[in-house]
């Protein structure tokens, strides 16, 4: 049972960035011993609000109060000392892999500056914390880097308890987990709730939200729309509040005659993230693959590109079965991937635009083992003009470009390869409206040329605007196929959230 008094309150929180008011007078509270879900579409302001609460951002206006006392957080350490902890889906950024489980859990003691450390006592204390969570299968002497993602999450929760956390923010914690691992996490969250810890649960998976949450707050466009008891609302109402009004932005959809089948994939399985996936793509067709964070979209794109191994299944292009042991095999076969993490995987940020645009075609640009600078420059000039890359300086380092122009470079490098299939994974992530339109037009142009497009995204409005056919992914599977004509935002959200066809 949750207590009637609000232990943590955020009042009138305002946060602005250049040209954007991210939070507008937001109120939010968490009671001791409750699980409070915070929901909203991408860009609603959830992450910004939680960064204010966790000390990563300082609010421009408003107050954070704990037990009636106002606090000002200027760094994450301030929030931690006040009893606020975070468990993110990117657990590897929060743990030190070379330290043991015990050392990670008791990190505060390690950094306290003491000249003498009771290592045995620290291990016993870490084991006791894990035992309180009902966890006896994790050896506290193991290095954290050897653990599974689910185990690393549990270590983070253990650290939070060791540091006397009163409130824990769970930001998309189930995204990297299997169903069984998610069930274990929910059992632990329920135990925390019974022990009086307030849990903030951020998730796009509505089935999970209604399974464990006491209250639900919905945000949209930087504002709090509603806060209700979970028992007093339903998934349909929540989706309506998340969407607000129907999306009115028009996407430049090219009208293309769709031809014969180019790509066929049957029974693809890779670990727990891609499970028995079957799909096809035809000439000139844009197939949208939509799902929530952690649904397996990125993993599927990597499997199709030979970046991740197949445990089962087969892939064929133009009727010929492919053996994709590495990305180079996929490129040679006629596939191109524009990955979600463009700065890590799509471009080399320390190199100039010209060098990046030449990467997939170094061999045809070279003679006697040396790249022809004239041919390299001509290729760069053609791609810059074709894509509208700004600034139009082929010698500019990619790291100094905007997100949209970096993405254009990530796309442009593949154009001379004459690939048959283009895989776009979250291509508009972090780009402005103008760059989005340019990317949509480019994808339309590729479709007009007879290329097959697989467009992976969690942005439902984009999928509805650009795709000829829509595949909904949930928990690693394709759970529903929809035609462009029949698909709606509500349908897609339902199938993506419930995981049921």
7-244 against 250-334+419-498: fold identical: yes
pLDDT tens sequence across 17-32: 876 788 999 999 999 9
Q: What would the pLDDT profile of 102-157 be if each residue is shown by its tens digit?
A: 998 998 777 666 677 788 888 998 998 888 877 778 899 999 888 888 888 888 88
What pLDDT score does 1 carry?
Answer: 42
Distance (Å, whole) CA 6 – CA 248: 39
* Residue 281 φ/ψ, nearest 5 degrees: -135, 135
Question: Cis link prior to 267 (omega < 30° from 0)?
Answer: no
Q: What is the pLDDT of residues 23-67, one digit of tens each?
A: 999 999 999 999 999 998 766 888 889 999 999 999 999 999 999
Q: What letter would DSSP give residue 100?
A: B
For tokens 């889906």, name the residue.
89
SS3 269: strand
- For residue 350, the model assigns a pLDDT of 85
Beta-carbon contacts of 260 under 8 Å, excluding residues fewer than 6 positions away, are 282, 283
Per-residue pLDDT of the chain (501 residues; tens, 9 = 90+): 444 446 899 999 999 987 678 899 999 999 999 999 999 876 688 888 999 999 999 999 999 999 999 999 999 999 999 999 998 767 777 888 899 999 989 987 776 666 777 888 889 989 988 888 777 788 999 998 888 888 888 888 888 888 889 999 998 888 767 777 888 889 999 999 998 999 999 987 788 999 999 999 999 889 999 999 999 999 888 888 887 754 344 455 667 889 999 999 999 999 989 999 999 999 999 999 999 878 899 999 999 999 999 999 999 999 999 999 999 999 999 999 988 877 777 788 788 898 888 888 777 778 877 778 888 888 888 888 888 887 678 888 888 777 778 888 888 888 888 899 999 998 887 665 566 778 888 899 899 999 999 999 988 888 998 999 999 999 899 999 999 888 998 889 889 887 665
Residue with tokens 């009208």: 255
Contacts of 414 (CB under 8 A, 6+ apart): 336, 338, 360, 422
**pLDDT for residue 246:** 45
E strand or H helix at 297, and its extent?
helix 297-304
pLDDT the model gives residue 4: 47
Q: What was the pLDDT predicted at 112?
A: 62
> What is the dihedral angle through the alpha carbons of 66, 70, 74, 77, rounded to the nearest 10 degrees?
-30
Packed helices 403-412 and 373-387: angle between N→C axes, nearest 10 degrees: 120
Asked whether the CA dihedral 410, 377, 416, 388 is positive or negative, the reply is positive
Confidence (pLDDT) at 2: 46
Contact 57, 75 (CB under 8 A): no
Contact 302, 283 (CB under 8 A): no
Q: 């993110």: which residue's tokens?
A: 88
Cβ atoms 415, 439 nearer than 8 A: no
Residue 470: partners with Cβ closer than 8 Å, 6 or more residues away: 287, 288, 290, 463, 464, 481, 482, 483, 484, 487, 492
Q: What's this model's pTM, rounded to 2 decimal places? A: 0.58
Q: In whole angstroms, what is the distance from residue 152 CA to residue 175 CA?
A: 14
Contact between residue 258 and residue 282 where contact means Cβ atoms under 8 Å apart: yes
* β-bridge pairing 274-282 and 261-270: antiparallel
Return the domain boundaries, the chain.
7-244, 250-334+419-498, 351-409
Residues 254 and 445: beta-carbon distance below 8 Å: yes
Sign of CA dihedral 125, 80, 192, 142: negative
What are the C-alpha distances in Å from 268 to residues 287, 294, 300, 345?
Answer: 17, 17, 8, 23
pLDDT for 152-164, tens place per residue? 888 888 888 888 8
- Cα dihedral sign for 225, 227, 232, 234? positive
Q: What architecture (CATH level 2) is domain 250-334+419-498?
A: 3-Layer(aba) Sandwich (3.40)
* CATH top class, domain 7-244: alpha beta
């Amino acid at each position: 049972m949750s207590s009637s008094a609000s232990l943590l309150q955020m009042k009138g929180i305002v946060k602005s960035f250049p040209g954007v008011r991210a939070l507008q007078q937001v109120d939010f509270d968490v009671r001791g011993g409750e699980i409070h879900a915070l929901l909203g579409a991408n860009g609603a302001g959830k992450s910004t609000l939680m960064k204010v609460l966790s000390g990563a951002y300082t609010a421009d206006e408003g107050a954070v109060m704990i037990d009636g006392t106002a606090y000002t957080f200027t760094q994450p350490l301030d929030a931690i000392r006040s009893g606020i902890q975070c468990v993110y889906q990117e657990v590897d950024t929060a743990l030190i892999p070379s330290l043991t489980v015990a050392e990670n859990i008791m990190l505060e003691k390690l950094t306290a500056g003491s000249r003498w450390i009771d290592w045995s006592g620290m291990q016993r204390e870490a084991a006791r914390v894990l035992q309180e969570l009902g966890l006896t299968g994790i050896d506290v002497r193991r290095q954290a880097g050897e653990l599974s993602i689910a185990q690393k999450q549990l270590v983070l929760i253990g650290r939070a308890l060791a540091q006397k956390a009163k409130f824990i923010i769970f930001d998309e914690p189930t995204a990297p987990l299997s169903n069984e691992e998610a069930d274990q996490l929910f059992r632990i969250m329920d135990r925390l709730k019974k022990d009086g810890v307030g849990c903030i649960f951020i998730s796009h998976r509505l089935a999970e939200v209604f399974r464990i949450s006491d209250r639900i707050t919905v945000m949209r466009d930087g504002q709090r729309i509603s806060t209700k008891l979970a028992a007093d609302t339903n998934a349909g109402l929540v989706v309506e509040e998340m969407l607000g009004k129907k999306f009115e932005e028009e996407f430049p959809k090219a009208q293309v005659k769709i031809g014969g089948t180019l790509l066929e994939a049957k029974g693809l399985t890779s670990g727990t993230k891609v499970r028995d996936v079957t799909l096809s793509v035809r000439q000139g067709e844009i197939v949208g693959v939509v799902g929530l964070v952690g649904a397996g979209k990125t993993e599927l794109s990597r499997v199709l590109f030979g970046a991740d191994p197949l445990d089962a299944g087969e892939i064929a292009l133009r009727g010929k079965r492919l053996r994709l042991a590495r990305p180079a095999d996929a490129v040679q076969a006629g596939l191109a991937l524009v990955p979600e993490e463009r700065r890590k995987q799509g471009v080399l940020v320390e190199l100039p635009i010209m060098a990046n645009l030449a990467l997939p075609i170094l061999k045809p640009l070279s003679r006697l083992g040396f790249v022809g600078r004239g041919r390299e420059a001509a290729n760069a000039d053609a791609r810059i003009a074709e894509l509208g890359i700004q600034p139009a300086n082929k010698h500019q380092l990619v790291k100094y470009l905007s997100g949209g122009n970096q993405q254009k470079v990530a796309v442009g490098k593949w154009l001379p390869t004459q690939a048959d299939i283009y895989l776009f994974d979250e291509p508009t992530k972090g780009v402005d409206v103008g760059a989005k339109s340019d990317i949509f037009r480019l994808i339309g142009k590729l479709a007009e040329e007879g290329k097959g497009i697989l467009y992976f995204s969690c942005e439902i409005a984009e999928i509805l605007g650009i795709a000829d056919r829509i595949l909904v992914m949930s928990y690693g599977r394709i759970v529903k196929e929809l035609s462009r004509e029949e698909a709606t935002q509500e349908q897609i959200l339902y199938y993506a959230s419930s995981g049921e066809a």
